[in-house]
């Protein structure tokens, strides 16, 4: 069944009248929500930590960042836009006791709510308003008169009034200019984790590395392997983005298109699909969430080791060298 999509005409900013929205965390999403809501006439207060460059950014945007406790206490709607892995602890230690009945706790990703890391006190409702794009786009599109599509969810059985507040918030950040799709905390969280693990981050990185290694092991020059297996991926993904798989296939050569149809299914096989279903089950039954929460509680040793090891892959070294030859690339380096 196709989803219902809500637009500007379906949302009324007046339901936010007299309410204060606290934006906790002035990062990617936080800086965009705070400024867009303020530009939409909503009363906004923000919080970030004084040692963060984002604190100074908030000040330069005319906000007076305050401690999380103070912002949570003053606000009617508390929007938690902190890194996901610290939200649970911060909620329990600094936010929970400052909420009063009638307040709303809002997030942009359902992980902590869905997996029980955030459990609001009696009388406090939950909302999810999740832009389907990074914060800088949420801000730049808004300024340009557009918006980034959003997802919206309430807890099961929440009154319609809460949903209307969520729609108004989505309107305030520009989401209803593009379209807002209703979902549930479970669906947003599970599809998000599944997508990033199997395709967007995990699947695609593994595919690129395996193809690069295959060429290099067969004696081809690493530079050639880099261009073919990583660099050109962007051109292909841009075509997906503009017109789906069909437009990519229309744009490439017939030889490439034939190779796609006849060879792709030998790479992603029934076995891959079985593993995808296993990964989905681990997402759904909370196994992945438990592992990641415990990993963070232990100081993330496995995560840090994996990150270190992956950064040493020869693909990364070759890429660094080759990107320097391409002056148009806005080259980024992580430390």
Residues with catalytic annotation?
109
Residue 72 binds ligand NDP, judged by CB under 6 A: no
For Mg ion, the nearest residue by Cβ is 192
49 is a contact residue toward ligand NDP (CB under 6 A): yes
226 binds ligand NDP (CB under 6 A): no
Q: Could you give the CA distance from residue 311 to residue 77 in angstroms, rounded to a whole number?
A: 40
Question: How far is residue 277 from each of residues 52, 198, 200, 208, 273, measured CA to CA in Å?
Answer: 40, 10, 16, 22, 6
Q: Which of 69, 84, 260, 316 binds ligand NDP (CB under 6 A)?
A: 84
Going from the C-alpha of 324 to that of each of 138, 209, 317, 329, the distances in angstroms are 30, 21, 12, 8
Minimum CB–partner distance for residue 163 and Mg ion (Å): 22
Q: Does 197 bind ligand NDP (CB under 6 A)?
A: no
Which residue is nearest to ligand NDP, using beta carbons? 27
Residue 200 C-beta: closest distance to ligand NDP, Å: 12
Distance, in Å, from the CA atom of 175 to the CA atom of 8, rounded to the nearest integer, reads 8
Q: Which stretch binds ligand NDP (CB under 6 A): 22-30, 173-181, 197-205, 262-270?
A: 22-30
User: Which residue, 131 or 172, has its beta carbon nearer to ligand NDP?
Assistant: 131
Identity of the residue, 52 or 197, whose beta carbon is nearer to ligand NDP in the bound complex: 52
CB 217 within 8 A of CB 45: no
Give the tokens for residue 28: 């990617």
26 binds, among Mg ion, ligand NDP, none (CB under 5 to 8 A by kind): ligand NDP
Strand order in the sheet with 77-80: 5-6, 180-182, 150-154, 125-131, 104-107, 77-80, 20-24, 43-47
Smallest gap from Cβ 101 to ligand NDP, in A, equals 24
Contact partner, 192, from ligand NDP, Mg ion, none, Cβ < 5-8 Å per class: Mg ion
List the interface residues with ligand NDP, window 253-272 (CB under 6 A). none
Q: Is position 98 an interface residue for ligand NDP (rule: CB under 6 A)?
A: no
Please, what is the minimum distance in Å from the beta carbon of residue 115 to Mg ion? 15
Cβ nearer to Mg ion, comparing 125 with 192:
192
Q: What is the pattern of x (binds ligand NDP, CB under 6 A) and - over residues 131-150?
A: x--xx---------------
Q: Does 27 bind ligand NDP (CB under 6 A)?
A: yes
Smallest separation, CB 45 to ligand NDP (Å):
14
Q: 46 to each of 26, 266, 274, how far by Cα in Å?
A: 7, 51, 45
Residues in contact with Mg ion by CB under 5 A are 192
CB of 299 to ligand NDP, least distance (A): 15
Binding positions for ligand NDP, rule: CB under 6 A: 25-30, 48-49, 52, 54, 68, 81-84, 86, 90, 107-109, 130-131, 134-135
């Amino acid at each position: 069944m196709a989803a219902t999509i809500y637009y500007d005409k379906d949302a009324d900013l007046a339901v936010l009248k007299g309410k204060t929205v606290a934006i906790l965390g002035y990062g990617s999403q936080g800086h965009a929500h705070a400024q867009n809501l303020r530009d939409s006439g909503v009363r906004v207060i923000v919080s970030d930590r004084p040692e963060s460059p984002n604190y100074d950014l908030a000040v330069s945007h005319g906000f007076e960042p305050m401690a999380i406790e103070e912002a949570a206490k003053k606000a009617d709607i508390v929007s938690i836009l902190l890194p996901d892995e610290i939200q649970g602890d911060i909620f329990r230690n600094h936010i929970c006791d400052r909420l009063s009945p009638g307040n709303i706790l809002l997030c942009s990703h359902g992980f902590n709510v869905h997996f029980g890391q955030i459990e609001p006190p009696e009388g406090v409702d939950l909302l999810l308003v999740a832009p389907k794009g990074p914060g800088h786009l949420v801000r730049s599109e808004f300024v340009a008169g557009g918006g980034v599509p959003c997802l919206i969810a309430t807890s099961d059985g929440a009154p319609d009034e809460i949903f209307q507040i969520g729609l108004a918030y989505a309107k305030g950040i520009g989401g209803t200019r593009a379209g807002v799709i209703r979902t549930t905390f479970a669906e947003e969280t599970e599809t998000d984790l599944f997508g990033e693990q199997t395709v967007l981050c995990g699947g695609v990185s593994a595919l690129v590395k395996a193809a690069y290694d295959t060429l290099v092991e067969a004696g081809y020059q690493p530079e050639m392997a880099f261009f073919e297996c990583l660099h050109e991926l962007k051109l292909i993904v841009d075509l997906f983005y503009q017109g789906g798989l069909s437009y990519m296939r229309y744009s490439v050569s017939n030889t490439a298109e034939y190779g796609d149809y006849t060879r792709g299914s030998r790479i992603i096989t029934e076995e891959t699909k079985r593993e995808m279903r296993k990964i989905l089950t681990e997402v759904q039954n909370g196994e992945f969430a438990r592992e990641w929460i415990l990993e963070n509680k232990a100081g993330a040793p496995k995560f840090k080791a994996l990150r270190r090891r992956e950064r040493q892959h020869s693909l990364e070294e070759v890429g660094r060298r080759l990107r320097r030859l391409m002056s148009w690339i806005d080259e980024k380096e992580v430390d």
